[in-house]
Amino acid sequence: MVVPRSADLVVVGAGVAGIAAVLTARAAGLRVVVVHKGPRWQADRTEQATATFYAQGGVAVVMPDNPADSVDSHLADTLAAGAGLSGPVASRSILGAGWAAVSELISWGTQFDRDPTGALARTREGGHRVRRIVHAGGDATGAAVQRALWVALGEAQAAGGIECLDESVVTQVLTDIAGRVVGVSYVRAGVAEPGVVLAPTVLLATGGAGHLYAATTNPSGATGDGIALALRAGARIADLEFIQFHPTMLYTPGERGRRTLVTEAIRGEGGRLVDADGASVTAGVHPLGDLAPRDVVANAAMAAIDRTGHPCVYLDISGIERFAARFPTVTAGVRAAGLSLHSGLIPVVPGAHYQCGGVVTDTFARTGVPGLLAAGEVARTGLHGANRLASNSLLEGVVMGIRAAGVAVTDRGAIRGDAVDGVYCDQDLPALDRTTLQDAMSRHVALRRDASGLAAVATLLESAPRRRIAGVADAEDASLTLTAGVVVAAAAARGESRGCHVRSDFPRSELDARSRYFGLARGVISEVADAAPVSVLG
Ligand code: SIN
């Protein structure tokens, strides 16, 4: 017999969006349970569980005292990168809240880098026309943010009202017979009996799905859990064909799993992307050259790899003074891979990095399912469109995490435990072998796709055997299988190339840019009939 815990808010995930929500909700008096897959926070672990920790470049934000910048300008850069699929209203709302959110991060203890005058230092990344990216520890922004948030969470937890269920994976969002969320079920590593937390509000802050692919910049827990949970709860998903490949992931032949990100900020400080013959990768491709939006640079890098027949391109860092001091994370990652910086060239390839689409939400993190919220990478607010602008993700995470907490405060209310419409702890779900899935996705659904490759992966996914979900790895494999199904369906439905979705059989962008929405009906992923209105024509 499962004895349920209860809370006012369950937060699934412990990255920037999740912890921002916990701290805000707790400050308003809510009882919060955090369910996350990582271990208890230990600052000295080399591998960490959240994508937030691995963010390098920084947080894109318009500072109020910067006459050279404005929210309008940040919005224009965001919409340009989004290739006609960003929602201008949602984007303005989120970007406009940026400075207040960064101020919260500072109040929670994040120490951003400062220039000699004491002002926040700013750098530039792809797609930004001005320097507006604040950073910490040089290129260790995510680590600094995550560390500060964990410390703040620990202090809040000591004061009571917060419970953290570490090394636990949510297996189901529970609903009542009216379809309203009433909590979650979860399994915990090493504990045979599944658990239940009853709560009127559940926030999915589970991050992305980089491990759909054999190599990624994402931590190992990025397995599409939130997409799968939301779909099974009846929420809608959109824009999942837009999986962003970062142009510069460290190239180490044959390795699988998480690989070191080589931040775009290096190009912001003068780094140049060159091919194996030393020629510029981006010359003549885009007016912003090496600082073009990420999709443009990633495709230029791939074209250079094809042209030269060499397995990677190189980031030329020879013009950057005191490289190791400014970019300690990249320096450590390069050295850990057994490479040296002495040549001034870092070998890089495009790598799976960010899920631009996700669970459809409004600008308060509400999905269409009453009581179910989503924030951070798992959510599709409309900010990223077909291609996320660099360093908009941490910003969105903190803004939306704080807003989600506000909704939880409003929706606070008692849950009737007897109203739960079944707790399916013994689930059998389709789950493909992970290596087989990753190899197929890497081959056919990566930077370039075509109809026959997509059809082959769809057939493979349909053949996935059902598996009893007995632990974290089973739950992850089932999430990867379901999420891959949506990515493939969305990519097959989009017969054009746009942003980070490139169809070699449809190289052009069509004028009719609109988001497609997907749902799960009787176990089958289908395009939802009430398709979204066009947000912006491309
Ligand atoms: C980077 O530092 O290049 C990555 C930042 C981001 O993904 O926005």
Distance 264 CA to ligand 1 centre (A): 6
- Decide: 391 in ligand 1 pocket, CB within 6 A: yes
Question: Angle at CA 45, nearest 5°, toward 61 and 38?
Answer: 75
* Mutation to probe ligand 1, out of 145, 246, 500 (largest number of atoms < 8 A from CB): 246
* Mutation to probe ligand 1, out of 78, 264, 297 (largest number of atoms < 8 A from CB): 264
Using CA atoms, how far apart are residues 26 and 401, in angstroms rounded to an integer? 13
- Decide: 52 in ligand 1 pocket, CB within 6 A: no
Q: How many CA atoms lie within 13 A of 141 on its CB side?
A: 30
- Asked whether the beta carbons of 377 and 208 are under 8 A apart, the reply is yes
Burial of residue 262, with CB atoms counted within 10 A of its CB: 0-12 exposed, 13-18 middle, 19 or more buried: buried
- Decide: 56 in ligand 1 pocket, CB within 6 A: yes
Cβ burial 305-325 (10 Å sphere, 16+ → b, else e)? beeeeeebbbbbbeebeebee
Give 94-98 contacts, CB < 8 A, sequence gap 24+.
Answer: 94/363, 94/381, 94/383, 94/395, 94/396, 94/399, 94/400, 95/62, 95/71, 95/383, 95/392, 95/395, 96/71, 97/399, 97/403, 98/59, 98/60, 98/61, 98/62, 98/71, 98/74, 98/395, 98/399
Q: Is 251 a member of any domain? A: yes
DSSP 211: G
Going through 265-380 in order, the beta strands assigned E by DSSP cover 272-274, 313-316, 345-355, 358-360, 372-374, 379-380
pLDDT of res. 190: 83
Q: Is 48 a member of any domain? A: no
Radius of gyration of the chain (CA): 22
pLDDT of res. 281: 97
pLDDT of res. 255: 87
Q: Is 265 a member of any domain? A: yes
For ligand 1, atom 8, the nearest C-alpha belongs to: 391
> Which residues have CB under 8 Å from 11's CB, separation 6+?
18, 19, 21, 22, 25, 32, 33, 34, 35, 203, 205
Structural domain range at position 311: 244-351
Could you identify the atom of ligand 1 that is nearest to the CA of residue 60? 8
- Asked whether the beta carbons of 368 and 334 are under 8 A apart, the reply is no
- Asked whether the beta carbons of 414 and 204 are under 8 A apart, the reply is no
Spell out, as residue ranges, where the chain has pLDDT lower than 50: 533-538
pLDDT of res. 423: 57
Q: Tell me which residues are annotated as active site.
A: 294
CB atoms within 10 A of CB 233: 23
Q: Is 137 a member of any domain? A: no
Using CA atoms, how far apart are residues 436 and 455, in angstroms rounded to an integer? 16
pLDDT of res. 534: 44
- Decide: 264 in ligand 1 pocket, CB within 6 A: yes
Using CA atoms, how far apart are residues 138 and 404, in angstroms rounded to an integer? 30
Q: CATH number, domain at 287?
A: 3.90.700.10
- Asked whether the beta carbons of 399 and 101 are under 8 A apart, the reply is yes
Q: For tokens 């991060």, name the residue.
A: 105
Q: Is 46 a member of any domain? A: no
* Mutation to probe ligand 1, out of 263, 291, 348 (largest number of atoms < 8 A from CB): 263
Q: Is 39 a member of any domain? A: no
The domain total for the chain is: 1
Phi-psi region of 270 (alpha: psi -120 to 50; beta: other; left: phi over 0): left
Distance 56 CA to ligand 1 centre (A): 6
For ligand 1, atom 1, the nearest C-alpha belongs to: 263
pLDDT of res. 4: 85
> Which residues have CB under 8 Å from 309's CB, separation 6+?
none
Distance 55 CA to ligand 1 centre (A): 6
Q: Is 59 a member of any domain? A: no
Q: Is 319 a member of any domain? A: yes
Q: Mapping DSSP to helix (H, G, I), strand (E, B) and coil, where does residue 451 land? A: helix
